[in-house]
Amino acid sequence: MITRIYRYFKEGMETKMKITYILPAIGKKPGKKYIGTWKMEPLTMAVLKALTPREIETEFFDDRIELINYETQTDLVCITVETYTAKRSYGIAKRFRERGIPVVLGGYHVTLCPEEAQEYCDSVIVGNGETVWKEMLDDAQQGRLKPVYQGGIGEYDVTPDKSIFEGKKYLPVSLVETGRGCCHSCEFCSISKFYCSRYYCRDHKLIAEDIRRSEHKYTFLVDDNLVANRENAMGIFREIEPFKIKWAGQGTLSMARDEELLKAMKKSGCEIILIGFESLNKENLKQMNKSFNYALGERDELVKRIHDAGIGIYATFVFGYDNDDERTVEEAVAFAKKHNFYTAAFNHLLPFPNTPLYHRLKQDDRLLYDKWWLQEDYNYGELAFRPKQLSPEKLSQLCHDARKEFASPKTVLSRGFASLGRTSPLLWGLFWGMNLRLGEEVDQKMNVPIGENLDELPK
């Protein structure tokens, strides 16, 4: 089948090119609602929209909240791929390619696995797409897509065009990008691998412009480590302070050692900061190349400093390292309950492709699947490797039980009252909404079939 691009190229017709953007879902349980907290606005799509010349027609299907129209008349399909959505992305690409429509794949997973992705599409974008997007579009219009476009890593001075979200219902939180990458080299981290353990700052004026355009009173500053560069972070806080927004972001426990930084964060509107504690075990932290968390000193005191500054903590923990057993999971839950964290995540370790963790487990013959993200019958919440001290099934269950315990009504109530003393009254409703929803979603997230039910209408 000859696509519109090639037909217009051959016939010289004056017709607009049309691009279809697609954000795949992880997977869907038949007849079940898609996970509510997985419905954040997809900032990547707004960036691509901003990069696309106005004379090119665009449409966007968010697979999480709507059906994809596989019969749409379009010239090019562009899909952003994460590891969790890779299987589904490839299935979607196949449907369009069967109609003769070229497909371009990009995103973190494509950069980590470019050879794999090339098997399922006409062209891949490796790295950030900002520097090669125009070249790719020009080539597509001429019917000569290259197999690979090598994008940059740090370049992204673009103001997202969120008009592409019109008519779609996302969580009432505006996403504003402040930086990319991280200066650390944690063994399990795909972001560290993607950005080669470097941090890239975004222009503060562009950050301010995004906030100025925001339609919501809550903002999430999209940044893998907001405090990676102290000078840059302080500049961001000064820039956004006049907007009087309430924001959340991601940082590290090290910021608790800097009283001036904490004060500036709070003054600029920070209410919640996500911190990856990952483990309370010294040997685990050493193995994951995150010894700096242990070297910081007394965790309890550092947590107290952040709370005393009026900032709530979203704590994350990961289990599956060689010193993990039932006791380490119990200790993490007890630690989280002791400090009445705003919320917390208790996750099992997952070997993302091409990370040091993946290569180590593969070398030790501990992977259950060579490519778990493409494995038939693989479900969200399952392990993809053999831990040393627990069975995969046992660790999965322990993580599930930890989430349920932390989301129990008694624990949520205790954490809620603690939160009321730290955060703004504007955040009280958000606390109850978030934590009650997280409690409901513990079971919903378990065993979501990766990549399945392509035609299942989300609720």
Report all structural domains of the chain as residue ranges with CATH numbers, in order of start.
4-150 (3.40.50.280), 172-423 (3.20.20.70)
Q: What is the 3-state secondary structure (H, E, C) of 325-361?
A: CHHHHHHHHHHHHHCCCCEEEEEECCCCCCCHHHHHH
| Residue 457 scores a pLDDT above 70 | no
What is the C-alpha separation between 189 and 350, in angstroms, rounded?
Answer: 10
Q: Say what the pLDDT of residue 296 is.
A: 64
CA distances from 306 to 14, 272, 342 (A): 60, 10, 12
Pair of tokens at residue 131: 């520097």
pLDDT computed for residue 15 by the predictor: 67
In tens, the pLDDT along 350-362 reads 999 999 999 999 9
Please give the pLDDT value at position 191: 84
3-class DSSP assignment, residue 169: coil
For residue 119, which amino acid is it? E
The mean pLDDT value for 33-42 works out to 83
- The pLDDT value recorded for residue 186 is 86
CA atoms of 200 and 314, how far apart (whole Å): 23
Query: Range with the lowest mean pLDDT among 122-126, 393-397, 420-424?
Result: 420-424
pLDDT at 459 over 50: no
**Closest listed residue to residue 243, CA positions, set 272, 219, 227:** 219
Dig out the tokens for 91 from the structure: 């299935």
Identify the residue whose tokens are 């831990």: 387
Location of structure tokens 């795909």: 190
- Give residue 262's region: left, alpha or beta (phi > 0; psi -120 to 50): alpha
396 neighbors 382 (Cβ within 8 angstroms)? yes
DSSP 100-145: T--EEEESHHHHHSHHHHHTTSSEEEESBSTTTHHHHHHHHHTT--
Which residues, in sequence order, are CB contacts of 318 under 8 Å at separation 6+? 188, 276, 278, 279, 288, 347, 348, 349
First-to-final CA distance of the chain: 34
pLDDT of residue 453: 59
Percentage of the chain exceeding pLDDT 70:
91
57-62 and 76-80 as β-strands: parallel, antiparallel, unpaired?
A: unpaired
Q: Is the pLDDT of residue 245 over 60?
A: yes
Report the C-alpha gap between 391 and 193 in whole angstroms.
28
Mean pLDDT lowest for which of 5-14, 332-341, 378-387?
5-14
**How many H helices and E strands in the chain?**
18, 14
CB burial of residue 38 (10 Å; 0-12, 13-18, 19+) = middle
As a whole number of angstroms, the distance between CA 31 and CA 24 comes to 18
| Burial class, 148, CB count within 10 angstroms (exposed 0-12 / middle 13-18 / buried 19+) | middle
pLDDT at 307 over 80: yes
Amino acid at 212: R
Q: Residue 454 pLDDT more than 90?
A: no
Q: What is the pLDDT of residue 420?
A: 76
- Cβ contact 99:386 at 8 Å: no
Phi, psi of 449 (to 5 degrees): -70, 120
Task: Examine the pLDDT at 10 and tell me if it is beyond 50.
Answer: no
Higher pLDDT, 353 or 4: 353
Q: What values do phi and psi take at 389, rounded to 5?
A: -110, -5
pLDDT exceeds 90 at position 231? yes
Encode pLDDT of 115-154 as tens digits: 999 999 999 999 999 999 999 999 999 999 999 999 887 6
**pLDDT at residue number 16:** 85
Instruction: Judge whether residue 413 has pLDDT over 50.
Output: yes
Confidence of residue 395 (pLDDT cuts 50, 70, 90): very high
CA 250 to CA 274: how far, in whole Å? 4
In whole angstroms, give the CA distance from residue 50 to residue 62. Answer: 17
How far apart are the C-alpha atoms of 149 and 126, rounded to whole Å?
6
**What's the alpha-carbon Rg for the chain, to the nearest Å?**
22
Read off φ and ψ for residue 124, nearest 5 degrees: -125, 150
Average pLDDT over residues 50-59: 96
For residue range 82-124, what is the model confidence (pLDDT) as tens digits? 999 999 999 999 999 999 999 999 999 999 999 999 999 999 9
> Which has more confidence, 421 or 74?
74
- The answer to whether residues 289 and 185 touch, using CB atoms and an 8 Å cutoff, is yes
Describe the strand order of the beta sheet including 103-106 as a list of residue ranges: 57-62, 18-23, 76-80, 103-106, 123-126, 148-150
pLDDT at 38: 81
pLDDT band at 156 (very low <50, low <70, confident <90, very high): low
pLDDT tens-place string over residues 161-208: 999 999 999 988 999 999 988 888 888 888 877 888 888 899 999 999
Mean pLDDT, rounded, for 299-307 = 94
Strand partners, 59: 20
Q: What is the pLDDT of residue 297?
A: 64
pLDDT, mean over the chain: 89
Tens of pLDDT, residues 210-225: 999 998 889 999 998 9
Q: Which residues pair with 278 in a beta bridge?
A: 317
